Amino acid sequence: MKKALFLWGASLLLAAGGSSCSTNEQVIFDDAFVYLADANGASASTIDWDSQNYLGTYYVYLVTPALDGDVQVTYDLVVGNGLTEGVDFKTVASTASPITFTKGIYTMPIRIEWLKHELDATKDNTVRIVLRSCSNPSVQIGRPGPDHLGSEYTITKR
C-alpha cells in the first residue's frame, strides 16, 4: 500500500512539474546597432545645478556579431539655451566624438563633467547626446524598431 501511494505521489509530482514548464522562444537580432544608455539602462537623467566637478558617464553600446575592423560612431551634444559649455559642463576630451570601437570592444563611454552654476528655470536646461552616424553602413543607429530607441540620451540640469 505504501509503495502504491509513493508511486502515485511521484507520478503526480512529475505530471505537475512537466506541465508547468514552458519554453520561451529566443529573440534573435540579425541587425547590428548602436545605442546610448547610462549604467542603469535609462535614456535620461537629471543633474543638480549645484553639482561641482561631478563626472557623468553615459555609454554607447555596439550590438553586433564580431567585426573585422574598427567602427567609428559620431555624436553631437545638443545644448539647450539655458546651458553653456565651459560654464555648466565640460566634455572630457578623451571621450569626444567620434568614438572608436576597436575589435572586441562593445561598450564605450562618453564623459561629461558637470560644474556648479546657477540656472534660469525659464530656459531649456538640457543637454542631449545624439548619435549621428556609424562608419559601418550595416550598423543602424538606435535599437531595432521604428522608434530607434537609444539614439539619444537627455540630461536635464535642475
What is the DSSP-derived secondary structure letter of residue 85?
B
pLDDT at position 8: 52
Local confidence pLDDT in tens for the 158 residues of the chain: 555 554 555 555 555 555 555 566 665 657 899 999 999 999 999 999 988 889 999 999 999 988 889 999 999 999 999 999 999 999 999 999 999 999 999 999 999 999 999 999 999 999 999 999 999 999 999 999 999 999 999 999 99
Would you say 98 and 127 are in contact if contact means Cβ atoms under 8 Å apart?
Answer: no
Distance CA 96, CA 10 (A): 63
